[in-house]
Structure 1
Amino acid sequence: MTSRPVKATGIHLEPLPKVSELLNLEEMAVDDFLADLKAGEIAEVMLLKPETTPEELNSSSVLDEDVLEEMKKRREARLGSEVLKNPKDPVYPLVKEFADVVSKDLPSQLPPDRGVRHEIDLVPGTKYCVTRQWPLPRAQCEVIDAFFAAKAKAGMVRESKSPHSTPTFCVRKPNGKWRLVHAYNKLINATVPAQTPIPRKDVLLNNMAGCELNSALDLVDGYYQILMRESNIPLTAVSTPSGMLWEWLVMPQGLSNAPATFNRLVTQLFSPLRAYAQTYFDDIFVHSRVEDGKTAMEVHLGHLRRVLEVMRANKLYANTDKCVFASPEIKVIGCFVSNIGVRADPEKRGIRGSG
């Protein structure tokens, strides 16, 4: 058999589709997507990113290392401890006036009843939450005993006869000091979770973006500033290696719904000031811009005063060393906020030293 050429006639080839058209798939319900993914029908998932927007030009990734370092120095210069070194600083008189709520030496005492107490609602059928205390090194035992002695003197804990018991141990902080931890695992598993909404980071950042001056106040020992519901105090009982059983009259750290309770308190107290004061758990962010012929500093000092007045009236305290006052830029939940927008923290993004 001899081969002969075949002449192709009347063949019409469609132009190749654009990549964007190939990727423009029909909308798929989440359930359908998960089912197809599990069945192996989806081979690859791609996320398309639009072109860089003008806002992204403010990103830390495009800022020079020297510029970032200079911004850091300016923020550090606005720390409360630095402000108090300069009597000519415009914020100095206000911080001195409210030294009872913004200080290094903060009172340790039972907080007032502000109308919000921490409540523990147990899953029906729960009896006792008991975990035996395990032995600990002498150094940790001494730290634990000293801790509870101080809290008992302040009226925050008392000796307990509760049928519940949770062990106590210590972990090292980054600064080398010890942090006490209560192993509330069984109590957490037996607690009905709270449905209190948490603050939205995007809303908070949007409210602050573009303001000329910002302050950040870090509330000290926020959890210890909330009373326990009287009937729930026995549930908080914790043991120590030295054989003591204590129960908390204030909200201890480690309970599953504690963040929700604290957020409910600060939201309730500072909601009248939400136009210029945002709360995020134990952080209060105050932001101001030029208003009604007043300078940004004049407006900001007025905003700060009202926030500090609420703190004083409700006996909430902030540590001077952790507060930032009247800064063009402050750190807010992993980002930096200033009058030119919001940028990511370069240390969080791993930009420094990544080369």
Structure 2
Amino acid sequence: MQHDREGRDRVVYYQSRQLKPTERNYPVHDKELLAMKYALAKFRVYLLGSGPFVVYTDHASLRTAVKSPHISQRMARWLSFFTEYDFRVEYKPGRLNVVADALSRRPDYAVKTADGNRIGVERVNAPSSSLIDDVKAAYASDADAKQLLSYASAPSDEARLLLYSAVDDDVIRIVVPNDYDLRMRIMYEYQDAPTAGHPGREKTYVLFTRDFYWNHQYKWVCKYVRACEVCQRVKPAAFSQAPLQSLSTPSECWQSISMDFVFGLPSDSKRRTGVVVFVDRFSKMVYLAAVPVEVTAVQTARQFVDMVFKHHGMPLDIVSDRDPRFTARFWQEVFTLLGTQLSMSTADHPQTDSQTDRVNRVLGDLLKSYAHSFQQSSDCLPMAEFAINNLVHASTGHTPFYVNAMRHPRLPSMLGTVASSLSGEDLRLHPNNRRRALIPTQYQR
């Protein structure tokens, strides 16, 4: 430490170390003396032979430690070391010795004590999205939006957000001003972000028009998706297939599920190269979990219990292929005990489990599109699962999330909003016992 031109203390160098196990048992006086000895030894090249210098300490007894007639054996061993230096010890109270507190008394290391009068007080942390704030700010540069806001007789609770709802439509959308960069940011959140998963033209349009509105949205979506490099690279060209033999349509969620494996993925840190896929055949909701290539029937059963049974109970039947993992004796015994009938695919028509095969293809495209964002395929499975369950399914006309819970999940882009379609339509209009009424005519497969 040295003094500047105005006489203030300036630190030249900090040095510290942890106490050894035996040193932790030293009395306080010896610990303070040990710190001084360590500092002199560490800066020996600067202090030895340089003339008299001062050691400042907030422990007053060190001023006479080297001159005291009553010393311990440890102190006696250290005396020969101290006599090599020409120094004096000066006492500086702790409140004045602030330069030494930078390491020993950091404010963020301070122990916080709870106020007894505030025990049990809950704190609510409500994150907000900068996107919504940018929408509000962009209204000032849009003449039409600015005029609408100026004539608004009763500004909404959305802090002067313009909201739009079509005739005979209860969905409330945020009006986006005429700002190209802002609209491109919104398109990114609903097409390129991991929570979206590059769903394609139609599904992207349905997804983001649930929350935002501006003129000619469909043209924007078509142009944006057509120019998406990831979609062009990872998604195969569409081709026609022969009609498949359909299974009977379930009458409620999680009455019938399909299961399958996807293998051949890059190995993660736990040497897992596969994914087990569970699909509810009614709502099309998907659960995914990483598995090793040598996954056993017992491990698969545990994944089933952790992801499906824990949340939805046992299905009446499970559709699978003839993979030994499903036909093992363990599965047969479990299904017999629980009253479940295992519906096996026929040998001549393995496409009867087309539901999971379709999910496997979508999952493969998603994992390819996530390759630039995640180092391991297993890391992106939660995002892939969310993206699949948040897309409108052609056979139901709704997302799996909505069919299961009668609401849409809240996306990061909508944080901070109050009135939004993310909570779904009015729950009173669609109680759980009328869920199937949502998709009576559209349910084709």
TM bracket (short chain): under 0.3
TM-score (norm 2): 0.19
Higher RCO (C-alpha under 8 Å, 6+ residues apart): 1
The structure with the largest strand share of the pair is 1
